Amino acid sequence: MNLTFVFFLGLFFALIGVIPPGLLNMTAAKISLKEGHTRGIVFSIGVCIIVFVQTYLAAIFARYLSMHPEVVDILRMVALVIFILITVYFLFVAKASSKQQIEPKIKSKHSRFFQGMLMSAINVFPIPYQAYVTITLASVNWLDFELTSIISYVAGAGMGTFVMLYVYIFFFDKIKSKSFTSQKNMNYIIGGITGIISIMTLINIIRDF
């Protein structure tokens, strides 16, 4: 298995996962805007350390699923329900908050680092996302579950996450006034993405029957 190819697979799919405006990338951009690029980068490093762990756990979980296809069928049904509920929530329930959030003034770089780790740990979306991606890549023989391949993929995923956070940090001034960065439009974006995933999951379930 070409480890360089596996690394760039991890980088690419991590980039895709972090492109939509979300809690982590927008927080990194806001920290950079208010406190300087250095603290934004420190926050991003904290995020990426947790992403390393989450992606590794996802790959191990995907390896287990690849050996137990009956579990995959159950999880797909569960995932379909979850994605439908998330879609309904973000498209029809979630409302943009009109109240300005007061953020605590954190001066320490170490505090931003640990804040990045904490917020990334709370955001568990990368685990099911990366588990789905890795098991899909394995099914087309682009990835195997040898330790070296997993580590290469995990390294790529961490780097891809950092690159996208870096992009948000240095280009936030150009996109902050755009309408898609509002909370309402972010809800629509997230709801649209999960809606597409729900449809694809449903199609796969129906096709396998």
Comparing 52 with 203, which gets the higher pLDDT? 52
Tell me which range, 49-58, 89-98, 121-130, is most confidently predicted by mean pLDDT: 49-58
Average pLDDT over residues 80-91: 76
Q: Of 17, 24, 12, 20, which is closest to residue 123 (Cα–Cα)?
A: 24
> Which is more confident, 126 or 20?
126
Q: Given this model, what pLDDT does residue 199 score? A: 84
Domain chopping of the chain, boundaries: 3-76+102-178
Segment 62-84 shows an average pLDDT of: 75
What's the pTM value of the predicted model, to 2 decimals?
0.71
**Burial call 32-55: b when 16+ CB within 10 Å, e when fewer:** beebeeebbbbbbbbbbbbbbbbb
Is the four-CA dihedral 99, 47, 88, 199 of positive or negative sign? positive
The average pLDDT across 33-51 equals 90
Q: What is the mean pLDDT of the chain?
A: 79
CB atoms within 10 A of CB 59: 27
Query: Please, where are the H alpha helices in 89-146?
Result: 109-122, 126-139
